[in-house]
Amino acid sequence: MNNTILIIIAFLFGQTLYGQISLEENRYSDYFKNKNGPILEINVKNLNSKEYSKLKVNYFIVTPLEGSKTQIEKTSRFSENGKTNLNLDYPFPNQQIFVRINQLNYYGCVYLNDGLSIVLDADSLKSNNYSSQLNGICYKGEDALLNETLLAHRNYLRGKTSQIIKQVNLLKCDRHLDMEGFITQYDSLYAILSSIDDKYISKYPTQYATLIKNERLSSYYHDLCVKYWCRQMPKILLEKMKQHKVLLTSNDGAGLQRALYIYLKNESFLLDYSQFFDILDRNQRKDLASLLKYRKKAIIDYPNLTCQAGKERNQDFINYHNYRLNVEKAIGDSMLTKASTQYMIDRLELMFPKAKADFYKLKIANDSEAYNKDIVINTLLASINTEWCKSVLEEENRKHKEYLAKVNAAIKKAEKKELIPQIELKHSGYGQFIAKLPNQATLYKVENIEAKKYLVNLLAMHKDEALLLDFWGTWCHSCIAEFPSSKKLQKDLKDEPITFIFLCTSQGTNIERWKSRIIESELGGIHLFVDEDMVAELMEMFNMSGYPSYAFFNCKGEYKDGAIDRVSLMSKKEMTTLMNK
């Protein structure tokens, strides 16, 4: 066959395959094996060398791997000629990246498959107000058409779409609606958004029409799945979600996968503990008998127990939870970790075809704590047959151990008390003193300090006590929603050797707004207003993605990776156990 024809066939097949392929399919392994992670290049025009030296870009990379979060944040600087590159680790299909350059008033998102170059005209962008319009922006490279199409689609009937999305968000927050009322109203709003998609596709026929429709459906299923975190999902709806193939590694696509994983994970407290009967002594078996009694009631009342409010109201769940802690302590971390991991593996394999189940198993690994991660990894590897999943799991485990070694190295330095000179910290161990509030909150400003050195300083200052670092932003509603729980925990643990330190990023805010948030929340503790570059460096060190995030060190100075996902999920007893674990 003519070489030219072969090239054309290969090109067309590749484009079709890439546009339509899902991580959840068998065929993705072949694609993964023959592709490298794509490169995003950003080229800024019309600035001088001094301006380029101050220019910084923040990336928020959507990932399908994280168990509880969907974005990884990275930052980079520009070269003297105004260029910077971001190399993605894996060739995930249609991977979404949010890009922010504050100095240019630019905030937008792009999608990568094979590679993309964004050319930004600084003169045009500076006159915009965080615009995502095409003015001052030019896409080049193999993914240029994809991004031009999806950007044009986002801007099509933008006013009407924004209005409908605003109504959707208000509807999701309406706690007075029952599920039937919510679905009725939500379906009508979704139908309007879907009709806007159809109008755009009809007016501007495109090869990416399937992606547009798939993304809308992923968003729809995501919102419904989150609503069902607190109740049993109808079998018909669950079956539709199981059959849906996510085509974009985006907030909506990866968000749905995350939501479905959490829905399944919420049932993990129903693990059958009777399998451990033989290893327990007489008194522990009494606790087990009580646990199994309340477990039966928990299964019956499962729809109410998966939401926090239901847990607080239900005495059966409280009894179940207390006996479970006693039994788990007797069983031991290693055996319990292996059993609970196998439990989730079995559930996923019953739920999904093999390739899709293997993909969801990756979330178990990224959702586990550092001290038992090797057990989780080995248990998962024994069950995974999909090659790309096994390859990613091994690589992510290698990177995890590498970053954990960096944290442990910082701890060892802290033990030697290699502290930052006081003058460098502006006469305080925490930073430049700002104020002490009536609610016992002490405020400091931290800047121009190397992140690792600062961590060493904090650990040394809090030797022989536990340390909870809470990373947040003034614009982060989820962060602020956790403050009442943090306040309660601080009160409950006031006689325990633990310090709460709240690190607020300077990104997108200022000191006055930060102080206002702390005053409004009446949240005590040590509060640090930290340079955003330093926060990004610390969060990268801890392998964190998004806000809020938490880093926890026990009383021995050991870092407990992933120990706290949300403080609202932690009780005094759980925190005390964690402090001495």
pLDDT band at 441 (very low <50, low <70, confident <90, very high): confident
Stretch 314-332: mean pLDDT, rounded?
72
Q: Are 293 and 274 in contact (CB under 8 A)?
A: no
List, in sequence order, every residue forming a beta bridge with 504; answer none if it has no partner.
472, 529
Asked whether 339 and 12 are in contact (CB, 8 A), the reply is no
- Is the CB of residue 104 less than 8 Å from the CB of residue 82? no
- pLDDT at residue 397 tops 50: yes
* DSSP calls for 27-85: THHHHHHT-PPPEEEEEEES--HHHHHH-EEEEEEE-S--SS--EEEEEEE--TTSEEE
Q: Whole domain around residue 167: which residue ranges?
A: 158-266
From 152-166, 224-238, 259-273, the region with the lowest mean pLDDT:
259-273
| Per-residue model confidence (pLDDT) at position 260 | 93
| Tokens linked to 499 | 């310090």
Does residue 84 have a pLDDT over 90?
yes
Both 272 and 256 in one domain: the answer is no
Whether the predicted pLDDT of 301 surpasses 80: no
> Which of 31-35, 71-75, 304-308 ranks highest by mean pLDDT?
31-35
Domain end, chosen from 139, 154, 169, is at 154
| Residue 200 in this model has a pLDDT that exceeds 70 | yes
Render pLDDT for 169-189 as a digit per residue (tens, 0 to 9): 899 888 788 889 999 999 999
Bridge partners for 61 per DSSP:
72, 97
Domain count, the chain: 4
Let me know: does 90 contact 392? Beta carbons within 8 Å.
yes
Looking up residue 53, the CATH number of its domain turns out to be 2.60.40.1110
520 pLDDT exceeds 60?
Answer: yes
3 pLDDT higher than 50: no
Clarify whether residues 150 and 198 are in a common domain.
Answer: no
Confidence of residue 306 (pLDDT cuts 50, 70, 90): very low
From 242, 266, 290, the end of a domain falls on 266
Q: Are residues 398 and 440 in the same domain?
A: no
Between CA 47 and CA 31 the distance in angstroms is 40
Taking residues 131-148, report their average pLDDT: 83
> Residue 573: what pLDDT?
85
Instruction: Examine residue 1 and state whether it is found in any structural domain, yes or no.
Output: no
pLDDT given at position 314: 59
pLDDT at residue 364 greater than cutoff 80: yes
Note whether 239 and 11 are within 8 A (CB). Answer: no
Q: Tell whether 18 is covered by a domain.
A: no
pLDDT of res. 299: 54
Choose among 212, 73, 34: nearest CA to 539: 73
Q: Mean pLDDT, to the nearest integer, of 229-258?
A: 92
Q: pLDDT above 70 covers what percent of the chain? A: 84
If asked whether residues 191 and 258 sit together in one domain, one would say: yes
241 and 273 share one domain? no
pLDDT > 90? residue 8? no
Q: What is residue 175's predicted lDDT score, i.e. its pLDDT? A: 77
